[in-house]
Structure 1
Amino acid sequence: MLMHFQFKPLFKNQNIPGWSFSFYYKKYRYTGIYHQTGKIEWTLVTPGQDEIDLLTTQVHELMLYHVYDH
């Protein structure tokens, strides 16, 4: 489970899509950029191959809820 998920717009003009995000998972901090297309660009630390699909799915769900459904 992701802990302390946070996101913010990349640009001052919030009409331009793109968000930076961060969260903790298994005591590691992950950060990235969520693009309008749904592509995730991991920054600093990339999750391991065995966990990247799970984390990507969870980030997509959280972004859909917080950005597009609200």
Structure 2
Amino acid sequence: MITHFQFKTLFENKEMPGWHFSFYYKKQKFTGIYHQNGDIQWTSEQPLDTDLDQVKEQVHELMLFHVYDK
């Protein structure tokens, strides 16, 4: 489970899509960039392959809730 999820806009112009995000998963911090099309660009080591799909799904759900469902 993802904990301590945080995000902020990627650009000063908040109308432009793109967000920095960070969270902890299994006691390890992960960071990345979430693009408007749902692509994730990891700026830290990415989660293990066995966890990657589950983590990406959780990030998508959190971004949808916090950014698009305001």
TM-score by length of 2: 0.98
SS at match of 1:31: strand
Q: Aligned pair count?
A: 70
Structure 1 match to 2:65: 65
What is the CA RMSD across the aligned residues, in angstroms? 0.5
The equivalent of 1:54 in structure 2 is: 54
Structure 2 residue matching 1:4: 3-state secondary structure:
strand
Between the aligned partners of 1:31 and 1:57, the Cα distance in structure 2 is: 15
Give the secondary structure class of the aligned counterpart of 1:8: strand
Cα offsets for 1:29-68 (capped at 9, x unmatched): 0000000000001112111110000000000000000000
Query: Which structure 2 residues correspond to residues 24-43 of structure 1 after superposition, within 5 A?
Result: 24-43=24-43
2:5 is equivalent to residue 5 of structure 1: yes
Unaligned runs of 5+ in 2: none
Task: Look up the match of 1:16.
Answer: 16
Q: Which amino acid aligns with 2:67?
A: V
Percent identity of equivalent pairs: 60
